[in-house]
Amino acid sequence: MAAQLAPSILAADFARLADAAAAVAGVADWLHIDVMDNHFVPNLTLGLPVVQSLLAATALPLDCHLMIDDPDRWAPGYAEAGAGSVTIHAEAAADPVATARAIRATGARAGLAVKPGTALTPYADLLAEFDLLLVMTVEPGFGGQAFIAEMLPKVARARSLVQGSGLAVWVQVDGGIDAESIERCAEAGADVFVAGSAVYGAADPAAAVTQLRTAAERAMRRRPA
Ligand code: DX5
Ligand code: ZN
């Protein structure tokens, strides 16, 4: 499949979120929204009211990445509000299957995220319940961190789990994605790429998205068939 780009507004100006969405409209596939609660991660960002305002301000589908405790309780609300995709963390979910089903019941896509230290294998049997598997390539909580190259074999493992399952689950990477790391992730098997600093830290965010996409697609062509 083609590469999908999801700029993360965590790296944008929080006083101008509608402008940040507009800056990548027409070039990005998703707008990535990092919801943090100061409990699951040591940072606090935004929640449902801001997501609702963004839904009204942009036609881009929202990819909500919930770095929060008790996602079983809160995730369905983001899907009901109209998010296109809602991702919960495996480490935080008490009942990931029930939560994925509640997300999907709204028509939204359901994602399962794993932190760098969390193994994929225990979740292999849950893949059919999800549309996306997010392999974190930094410790969640903050933008602008260095890409953890040790995660590349995990990206490849995610790809082979998905391939082996025959399911149409997307493999997403998030954290430290730039022109160089995106190629390594694409080659390893990722197909959805979150980028914060590399997009909103650039003078021209739309041009940055296009450059990242070109790099990802070039690397995807090098993947073994
Ligand atoms: C980190 C967030 C990321 C973050 C990525 O916890 O999940 O989405 O915005 O930012 P960069 O691309 O700057 O690493
Ligand atoms: Zn994220």
Residue 34 among the catalytic residues? yes
Query: Sorting pLDDT into bands at 50, 70 and 90, what band is 153?
Result: very high
> Model confidence over 61-111: pLDDT tens digits?
999 999 999 999 999 999 999 999 999 999 999 999 999 999 999 999 999
Inform me whether the pLDDT recorded for 223 exceeds 90.
no
- d(CA 180, CA 47) in angstroms, rounded, equals 32
Give the residue among 4, 7, 54, 27 at the shortest CA–CA distance from 196: 7
184 lines ligand 1 (CB under 6 A): no
Residue 37 among the catalytic residues? no
- Please report the pLDDT score of residue 7 as a whole number: 99
- Please report the pLDDT score of residue 201 as a whole number: 98
- Please report the pLDDT score of residue 148 as a whole number: 99
CATH numeric code, 4-220:
3.20.20.70
Element (H, E) at 8: none
Inform me whether the pLDDT recorded for 224 exceeds 90.
no
> Model confidence over 108-142: pLDDT tens digits?
999 999 999 999 999 999 999 999 999 999 999 99
- Please report the pLDDT score of residue 36 as a whole number: 98
- d(CA 225, CA 6) in angstroms, rounded, equals 25
Sequence-ordered strand ranges (E) for 20-169 = 31-36, 62-67, 85-89, 109-114, 132-136
Torsional sign, CA 21, 141, 191, 210? positive
- pTM comes to 0.98
Catalytic entry in 29, 69, 174, 191: 174
196 lines ligand 1 (CB under 6 A): yes
Entry field: residues in the chain: 225
Structural domain boundaries in the chain: 4-220
- d(CA 89, CA 71) in angstroms, rounded, equals 8
Both structure tokens of 170:
């997307």
Q: What is the mean pLDDT of residues 47-54?
A: 98
> Model confidence over 159-216: pLDDT tens digits?
999 999 999 999 999 999 999 999 999 999 999 999 999 999 999 999 999 999 999 9
Give the residue among 188, 174, 178 at the shortest CA–CA distance from 219: 188
Q: What is the mean pLDDT of residues 52-60?
A: 98
Both structure tokens of 123:
């979740």
174 lines ligand 1 (CB under 6 A): yes
**Pairing mode, strands 132-136 and 170-174:** parallel
